[in-house]
Chains A and B, each alone.
Chain A
Amino acid sequence: MKITYDRSACQGHNRCYMLASELFDTDDEGYAILLVEGDVPAELEEKAQLAADNCPEFAITINE
């Protein structure tokens, strides 16, 4: 599973940080920072999916 994050779509709703803090941090203005590059570790796949499914701005994409 691969995860990508589109900074230009992100509006800092922080759903990703709340649901998957292993995968997302936030900067001091509240925009998301993706902590992994490319492949999502297997044990975090569920959380990655949750983050993508709850981003109101569709800024997170998952590719199997």
Chain B
Amino acid sequence: MATAPRPTVTDWSTDFDHTHPDYAASAPQIWDDLRETCPIAHSDRFGGTWLPTRHDDISTISKDPERFSSQGVVVTEFRPDIPAPMGYAPPITSDPPFHSIARGIMLKFFSPKAIEAWEPAVRRTCQELIADIKDRIKAGESEIDAAKAYSQHIPVRVIAEMLDLPNEDGDKFRGFIHNTLEAPGLDEDLPWEETIDFYLDAKVAERRENLGDDLISYLCEADIEGMPLLDEHVRGTIALLIIAGIDTTWSAIGASMWHLAQSPADRSRWIDDPAVRPFAIEEFLRFYAPVTMARLIAADTEFEGCPMKKGEWALLPFPAANRDPEAFERADEFIIDRARNRHTAFGLGIHRCVGSNLARLELRIAIEEWMAAFGDFELADPDTVLWSTGQVRGPRSLPIRFPS
């Protein structure tokens, strides 16, 4: 899709643009600078956007849904037209009191014990992908793009299996995600048949006729005080699972591999010391937290001295909170066995990522299987690694070489 290049940013404290390639390339530095000089920055872009970078402020905004509505969670030039409390994709676009109802329906499916049962399926997926990569290496390929051959497929296959949708639809999912997260607002011009809503309406209708034990059927059978969920609710929640579950996890796995590719010390620690692995996973999540959310300001308000206007955006850069030295010791260092790690990769407050147990499982198994197969690997060329722009940050291209 051809998009006009974003205008250059000269001053990040007055004109930042989180969709600019310069932000993608050096976001952590920008957050660190702003936290020191202008901890709640403002930009006129996107009709007015605020960027807090302190853990404290990000936490306060996350926990104040009255002033900071979730009706819009992805910053665009447009404002979402489906009103809270439900919003387009419940529960992420819902505000209280509807939010807890929509969220409550999903919690059982995603509880830690329910998710543990998916471990064999996740492991099988990773092993299949690794077998393909080994075949390619055997056939003489010396460089593998680990983002395209490995990390991007894992969440797609797992969520397709949960929803009982064909694996081959994975490419479609990635298109939908791109339209929503990486080029938001542009899908207004898409033909209806190419939208995620068209695709899912057909699937929901099919499933209502023929229930199974998958997650779509589970939502079709769920009720709110005896009333079945509206079709738009089911559709919106499935769209949310596809959009929120894939890019995010792909990014977390890819960023962790990017780290390991460049750190022989952390690779050997991972291999030699299984007890460090749970801590390493959380440190990957802290240091490379992929997700920045947004809120819509519900009414004119003053926050920490900043005059915020109704209809402006507030970004919630959880990765910036994770690097705040007020909240973390040696915040700017990756410490593989960090024992105190209250990271916010999955958000804070009532919208805490419903999929966090699944995301952790996928990240852990992906790295376990990869490290068991390829203990030694490096970036083919650091300059060809491509980071995504926008609110989900991770490597979209990750060429890897295996020393022989």
Binding site for B on A (CB under 8 A): 11-15, 17-19, 26-30, 50, 53-58
Alpha-carbon distance between A50 and B278 when the two chains are bound, in angstroms: 12
- B112 pairs with A14, CB closer than 8 A: yes
Q: What B residues does A57 contact at CB under 8 A?
A: 348-349
Q: What B residues does A29 contact at CB under 8 A?
A: 104, 107-108, 111
Q: Nearest residue in B to A18 (C-beta to C-beta)? A: B278
- A11 pairs with B278, CB closer than 8 A: no
Size category, B interface: 20 to 34
Q: Nearest residue in A to B104 (C-beta to C-beta)? A: A29
Q: Binary interface profile of B, 27-42, with partner A (CB < 8 Å = 1, else 0)? A: 0000000000000000
Alpha-carbon distance between A27 and B111 when the two chains are bound, in angstroms: 8
Mark out the residues of chain B between 312 and 353 whose CB falls within 8 Å of any chain A CB in the assembled complex.
339-344, 346, 348-350, 352
Known: A17-B112, A26-B111, A58-B342. A11 touches B282 (CB 8 A): no
Q: What B residues does A58 contact at CB under 8 A?
A: 342
B98 CB within 8 Å of chain A:
no
Instruction: Tell me the smallest distance from the CB of B28 to a CB of chain A, in Å.
Output: 20
- B342 pairs with A14, CB closer than 8 A: no
Q: What A residues does B352 contact at CB under 8 A?
A: 11-13
Name, among A26, A57, A58, the residue most crowded by chain B CB atoms within 10 Å (CB to CB).
Answer: A57
Q: What A residues does B113 contact at CB under 8 A?
A: 26, 28
- A13 pairs with B356, CB closer than 8 A: yes
Alpha-carbon distance between A26 and B357 when the two chains are bound, in angstroms: 12
- B339 pairs with A53, CB closer than 8 A: yes
Q: What B residues does A17 contact at CB under 8 A?
A: 112
Known: A18-B278, A19-B278, A54-B282. A13 touches B110 (CB 8 A): no
Q: What B residues does A18 contact at CB under 8 A?
A: 112, 278
- B357 pairs with A14, CB closer than 8 A: yes
- A30 pairs with B278, CB closer than 8 A: no
Name, among B107, B110, B112, B282, the residue most crowded by chain A CB atoms within 10 Å (CB to CB).
Answer: B112
Q: What A residues does B111 contact at CB under 8 A?
A: 26-30
Instruction: Tell me the smallest distance from the CB of A16 to a CB of chain B, in Å.
Output: 11
Which 7 A-B residue pairings sit nearest by Cβ, starting from the closest? Answer: A29-B107, A11-B352, A53-B340, A30-B111, A56-B342, A14-B112, A26-B112
Q: What B residues does A26 contact at CB under 8 A?
A: 111-113
- A11 pairs with B350, CB closer than 8 A: yes
- Extra contacts besides A11-B349, A54-B282 (12): CB < 8 Å: A11-B350, A26-B113, A28-B111, A28-B113, A29-B111, A30-B111, A30-B357, A53-B341, A54-B340, A54-B342, A56-B344, A57-B349
Q: Nearest residue in A to B351 (C-beta to C-beta)? A: A11
Instruction: Tell me the smallest distance from the CB of B348 to a CB of chain A, in Å.
Output: 6
Known: A11-B348, A56-B348, A57-B348. A28 touches B342 (CB 8 A): no
27 A-B contacts, Cβ less than 8 Å apart?
A11-B348, A11-B350, A12-B107, A13-B346, A13-B352, A14-B112, A14-B356, A26-B111, A26-B112, A26-B113, A28-B107, A28-B108, A28-B111, A28-B114, A30-B110, A30-B112, A30-B357, A50-B339, A53-B340, A53-B341, A53-B342, A54-B340, A54-B341, A55-B342, A56-B343, A56-B346, A56-B348
Instruction: Tell me the smallest distance from the CB of A55 to a CB of chain B, in Å.
Output: 6
Alpha-carbon distance between A19 and B107 when the two chains are bound, in angstroms: 21
Mark out the residues of chain B between 348 and 370 whose CB falls within 8 Å of any chain A CB in the assembled complex.
348-350, 352, 356-357
Q: Nearest residue in B to A19 (C-beta to C-beta)? A: B278
Q: What B residues does A30 contact at CB under 8 A?
A: 107, 110-112, 357
Q: Nearest residue in B to A17 (C-beta to C-beta)? A: B112
Q: What B residues does A19 contact at CB under 8 A?
A: 278
